[in-house]
Amino acid sequence: MRLLLLLLGTVLVLFTAGPSLADTFKTPEALIRALYRYDPDDTDAEAPSPYTPFFSDALNARFQADRDRTPDGEVGAIDFDPVISGNDGRARHVTLSPPIVIDDRAELEVSFENGERVTLYYTLVREHGGWKVDDIANQQGDVPWSLTGLLDDANR
């Protein structure tokens, strides 16, 4: 009986676990939808980024390098939430363009409301059997940015 309860408890934990345990997204759309439903406060504080479960190995390595070179108590190269392209608010009315998939790479646009209409450009890679975010870019406004550009510039 104890073994049965232990097995049942383990199965329930696996089914209710967040992306850290179930981090394989079979389509680009599934990845982006999960990303915009995710609460970044659920990520381990020691993770390279609040979105580590969704980011590619290469992007996570860039975040870790930035974290390693940033003195304690200071903010690294990314001082905003890249998924909402800001510090406050949340994405509402999220829409996705159809992804353009070529081999193990995909690109798509994600638009949403967060005080104003925001459009972000995602580059995805297929790794470990699923899709991961490899870069996010905002080409609107006075200061266009991409995560890889900001992180690479900070590393120089």
Tell me which H or E stretch contains 148: helix 147-154
**Residue 148: CA atoms inside 13 Å, Cβ hemisphere, count?**
14
Provide the phi-psi class of 28: left if phi over 0, else alpha when psi is between -120 and 50, else beta: alpha
The pTM is what? Answer: 0.84
Is residue 13 one of the residues assigned to a domain? no
Of 64, 31, 49, 61, which Cα lies nearest the Cα of 133?
A: 31
Is residue 1 one of the residues assigned to a domain? no
Residue 49 in contact with residue 60, Cβ under 8 Å?
yes
Phi, psi of 123 (to 5 degrees): -110, 125
CATH of the domain at 130: 3.10.450.50
Is residue 9 one of the residues assigned to a domain? no
Q: Which domain holds residue 61?
A: 22-154
Is residue 11 one of the residues assigned to a domain? no
How far is C-alpha 100 from the chain's CA centre?
A: 19
pLDDT 10s per residue in the chain (156 long)?
A: 443 333 333 333 333 334 444 468 999 999 999 999 999 989 898 999 999 999 999 999 999 999 999 998 898 999 999 999 999 999 999 999 999 999 999 999 999 999 999 999 999 999 999 999 999 999 988 889 999 999 998 877
Task: Give the chain's domain count.
Answer: 1
Going along the chain, which residue ranges are E strands?
A: 92-96, 100-102, 105-113, 117-127, 130-138, 145-146
